[in-house]
Chain A
Amino acid sequence: MATRVPGPLTRPSEAATGPVATVDGLTRRFGERTVLDRLDLEIGRGEFIALLGRSGSGKSTLLRALAGLDSEAEGGLSVTGSVAVAFQEPRLVPWKRVHANITLGLAVPDPKEKADAALAEVGLTERAGAWPLTLSGGEAQRASLARALVREPDLLLLDEPFSALDALTRITIHQLVLQLWSVHRPAVLLVTHDVDEALLLADRVLVLDRGRIAHESDVPAPRPRHRDHPDLTSLRTTLLAALGVSPEGTT
């Protein structure tokens, strides 16, 4: 496993504690198909990881296993500490208003204030009292993200949480996630299809292919990052190659 190059926000205490999640030879089969094939992965405390991979490569499957939702995965898997998930689909509970979705199962003394703050952060204050079915795709996704962020977990699993957002909102939410990450320091596993997004946010970028981590790169650039940073440009080419895409074909 590659050693992580700490970003400027890393606190010294973090290096001392063990990983928040360890995946050791995890295998998941659906009938004849092997989606995860003896996969190894270690997620350090406070580490921001981006997970890339083609559609159907098993990213969501891995996240489900890490979230403790998959009882049929074989192999070693240990997660220490609390986990929060933003699923690929928003999965809001339709019969609970948005704010009640945010506070669902939230065991803090002041859930209401927390929810309000989280909703303000994702720009949904006005929709706090709305029924989930009346939200737009992007609004629902932001509500789902707020529900995960408000929990301040040790491990935050985000499954393509920005896919339904427009470019401008996306930039705002990127900043928000980075900011929350720098304050509470959860470990983040972010699934994305966007190489630039991965390079912009993560300490480490993984590519999932054929059931394994086929490629991994540390992202050494300090934050805030600009996508034209020379280190990132070469990494982008490498990652796109790992994904089987030639750089000319994109952007």
Chain B
Amino acid sequence: MSVLELDTPVRAEPHPGARIRRRRLPGKAWQRWISPLVLVLAWQIASTTGLLPTRLLAAPSTIAATAVDLVQAGTLPTAIAVSLQRVLIGFTAGAIAGVGLALVAGLSRKGENAVDPIMQMLRALPFFGLIPLFILWFGIGEAPKVLLVALAVSFPLYLNTFAGIRGVDGKLAEVARTVGLGRTQLIRHIVLPGALPQTLVGLRQSLGVAWLALIVAEQVNANAGLGYMINDAREFLRTDVIVVGLLVYSALGLLTDALVRLLERRALTWRREFLAR
């Protein structure tokens, strides 16, 4: 997986394409469910007939039953709680670092000269490759996992917030000057709100990589959490448990993405009403 691909700032498009696509086919949404359902059905048939051995991939029905069992036994909720906590702590730390550094670099030339070269160098590092070093430095406890998440999160947020600050319309800054706003007020009223759309793009990217980083980190020496559950299942060839774990990962990913969308809707009303016209 490529780090570059994930944290290259994408220009904040005036509209997320998904929303438009959804609007285009309001009455025919159910048609989009046909092909996935057919696929699951085919999978089930293949499993039942023995065409697809359970050793490689469990049947959808088995997976569903296992999911229920795991929830009832408490294994899954505990694993989710542990993983969620790692992501939360790592994300918070990474977000503070990423946005904080972007403010330092974005708001002054000196700050940019100090921070940006280092960030540009570090972002070229394949940070999943840092895991061996992290283990040497921090052992195999929570620290390396949380730190890997934090590191993964900080770059997209840094790059996008920095680009957002620098992309603020200079003409609005001139307006601020002519109406007598000082530097602090300029930052508060013009620069930060102007950078927000791009920061939210960064937020979405960073949440995506946060889960990715967690999955990778949890493959290594975890004794709790979703990654541990999956790894443990591999030992016993429990493909059903593995698939449940993967599904939970993606559900959590989708959930956080939805949260950011909600945040975007709230924070960018000024743009949304314009687009809704």
Contacts and interface: CB of A to CB of B under 8 A. Distances in A.
Interface of A: 67-69, 83-85, 87, 89, 91, 93-97, 104-107, 131-134, 147, 151
Contact of B270 (A91, A95, A147): A95
Given A87-B175, A93-B190, A133 B181 contact: no
Nearest to B172: A93
A94 B179 contact: no
A106 B189 CA distance: 13
Nearest to A132: B270
Contact of A95 (B178, B179, B194): B194
B183 interface: no
B180 interface: yes
B172 A84 contact: no
Given A131-B274, A133-B274, A134-B274, A104 B172 contact: no
B181 A104 contact: yes
B185 interface: yes
A104 B190 CA distance: 11
B171 A133 contact: no
B223 to A, nearest CB: 47
14 contacts: A67-B174, A69-B177, A84-B179, A85-B178, A89-B171, A93-B190, A94-B270, A104-B176, A105-B181, A106-B179, A131-B273, A132-B270, A134-B274, A134-B277
Contact of B193 (A87, A95, A107): A95
Contact of B189 (A69, A83, A104): A104
Nearest to A133: B274
Contacts of A151: 179
B271 interface: yes
B270 A131 contact: yes
B172 A91 contact: yes
Nearest to A106: B179
Interface centre among B171, B178, B271 (most CB of A within 10 A): B178
B193 A91 contact: no
A91 B171 contact: yes
Interface in B240-277: 269-271, 273-274, 277
Interface string B154-182: 00000000000000000110111111110
Nearest to B186: A105
Contacts of A84: 178-179
Given A89-B171, A91-B172, 5 more contacts: A85-B175, A87-B174, A104-B179, A105-B181, A131-B273
B273 A134 contact: yes
B269 A105 contact: no
Contacts of B277: 134
Given A87-B171, A93-B190, A105 B176 contact: yes
Given A69-B174, A87-B171, A96 B189 contact: yes
A245 B181 CA distance: 42
A146 to B, nearest CB: 13
Q: Of residues A84, A89, A93, A131, which shows the largest number of chain B Cβ atoms within 10 Å of its Cβ?
A: A93
Nearest to A90: B175
Nearest to B269: A131
Contacts of A91: 171-172, 174-175
A50 to B, nearest CB: 21
Contacts of A85: 175, 178
Nearest to B192: A95
A94 B194 CA distance: 9
A179 to B, nearest CB: 23
Contacts of A107: 180
B271 A67 contact: no
Contacts of B196: 95
A93 B250 CA distance: 39
Contacts of A68: 177-178
